[in-house]
Amino acid sequence: MTLGWRVPGPALGSAAPVRPGVTTALATPAINPIVRWAFALLVFSIPFEFPERSFPIEIPTITAAVFLLTTPLALRACYARRPAALVWFLVYLYAFAVSAVWNARHAAATDVNNANYGAEVTKLFALLLQAVLVFWAAYNLFQSPRIARLTVVVLALAGTIRALLPVVGIARTTHAIWGGGERVTALGQNANNSAMILAAGFVVLLGLQYGAERPLLRPRWLVAPILALLGLSVVDTGSRGGIVALGAGLLPFMFSGARTLWLVVRNAVIAALAIGLVIFAAYRSDAVRRRFTESVESGALAGRERIYPSVLQMSRERPLIGWGPVNNKYELGLRLNERIFRRRDAHNLVLEVLSSTGLAGTIPFLAGLGLCCVGAWQARRGPHGILPLALLLVVVAANMSGNWIASKLLWLVLAYGLASMRYRGKDASGLPPPAAVLAGRPTPGRASDRAFREGWRSR
């Protein structure tokens, strides 16, 4: 098993050596080990959110802050390249701030609920700013396919440990479902968020074993028990959106466009088998089967059937700048007139952005998201194969029935998808690479792509 966490290279500011046959666009400066391990800690902490505790800051938020505090030790390695998607996300943050200030004058819905509008908006803005900075630094670190590979390995390892917790009875959390059955999570986590993270771990393991040029373990079938654990854990959460997101992440493996017919058929069969087993496990679960049946027969979507029309109506009333961050949730709570919830989330990433910041924030946000999707699509024939695209589909699909806009997993996957296109000699940055990287770069095209693939196999 080859992970290659240490990135060989010269000290910062010196020219990077280039291996024969490897595209020089991939030459990167050495990265301080403190930065590397702080980044690994951030990735590992993602599945271990602990909402039900007295300390108000989540563990991934703390580890992200620690990582960002270490980045000055490797400024060039973390911030040298500024992708165009970063510019769009910064424009979205600007629209967020403008909408927050503009709607602060008449945040009636928030005031009615005696909530502190300024404090809640400031907290959300700080979380989003941190997420965008993590995206920027991660994009630069992911210029190294080795670091990207180990990062997703760490994510899969953390997801596996998280899936084991309820099985062994550690921090097991259950939520009873009306009509019978229960949803199983750990550490008091939201079941839908847990399903997204576990589904991402499942897709990472499958992608590393069958979608990348080098398998994580040999023989490949050694990961089968871990895949079964992760798949059953997704089903145990009872999350319909999580199961659909897992299916969305598995579909690309059926059309991976591998180099040989045998690999195409093998990947398609394995993906079809995985989807079939997940469907079978979901059908065998009374709680999950009942929830899907209710959705099909009566259109019951845990309140989303009422939330979505209300959010769309709100967006039509204030299309340009929205209702303001946080205030849109309280406004939605008032319109739904539910006694239990004072505020309601949009339960959809796009609707959340649209209702809070209007078109002023939605357009740049979707532009940045689209560039990340394009990058993951163009990387499908690179050394990481279909994995960046599959992983991106998981988090995007999960955010169509939920809203985790400040989730570190979402922004790390976006950075991975955007950076992975460079593994084939392409460039997504808004500025030219450093002069040391440009020196001796071959002309882009099929010849350079072929040289890179040959150089990658020789590592």
Count of CA atoms in the C-beta half-sphere (13 A) of 55:
7
Q: How many Cα atoms occupy the beta-carbon half-sphere of 265 within 13 Å?
A: 3
Which stretches of the chain drop beneath a pLDDT of 70? 1-29, 52, 178-180, 212-213, 257-258, 339, 424-459
pLDDT at site 213: 67
Contact 235, 195 (CB under 8 A): no
Strands 172-176 and 182-186: antiparallel
- The pLDDT of residue 28 is 52
Residues 183-222 as b or e (16 or more Cβ within 10 Å = b)? bbbbbebbbbbbbbbbbbbbbbbbbbbbbbeebbeeeeee
CA-CA distance, 140 to 347, in Å (whole number)? 31
> 420: how many CB neighbours lie within 10 A of its CB?
31
Q: Is the dihedral of CA 450, 203, 78, 5 positive or negative?
A: negative
- Residue 217 φ/ψ region, left for φ over 0, alpha for ψ in the -120 to 50 degree band, beta for the rest: beta
pTM, full prediction: 0.85
Cα 421 to Cα 38: distance, rounded to the nearest angstrom: 25
Rounded to whole angstroms, how far apart are CA atoms 300 and 371?
34
Rounded Cα gap, residues 153 and 392, in angstroms:
16
Q: What's the pLDDT score for residue 159?
A: 95
| pLDDT score recorded for residue 303 | 85
Contacts of 129 (CB under 8 A, 6+ apart): 93
pLDDT at 418: 95
pLDDT at 301: 85
Phi and psi at residue 175, in whole multiples of 5°? -130, 120
Predicted local distance difference test score (pLDDT) of residue 430: 38
pLDDT reported for residue 257: 63
Q: What is the pLDDT of residue 179?
A: 62
Q: How far apart are CA 25 and CA 14, in angstroms?
A: 15
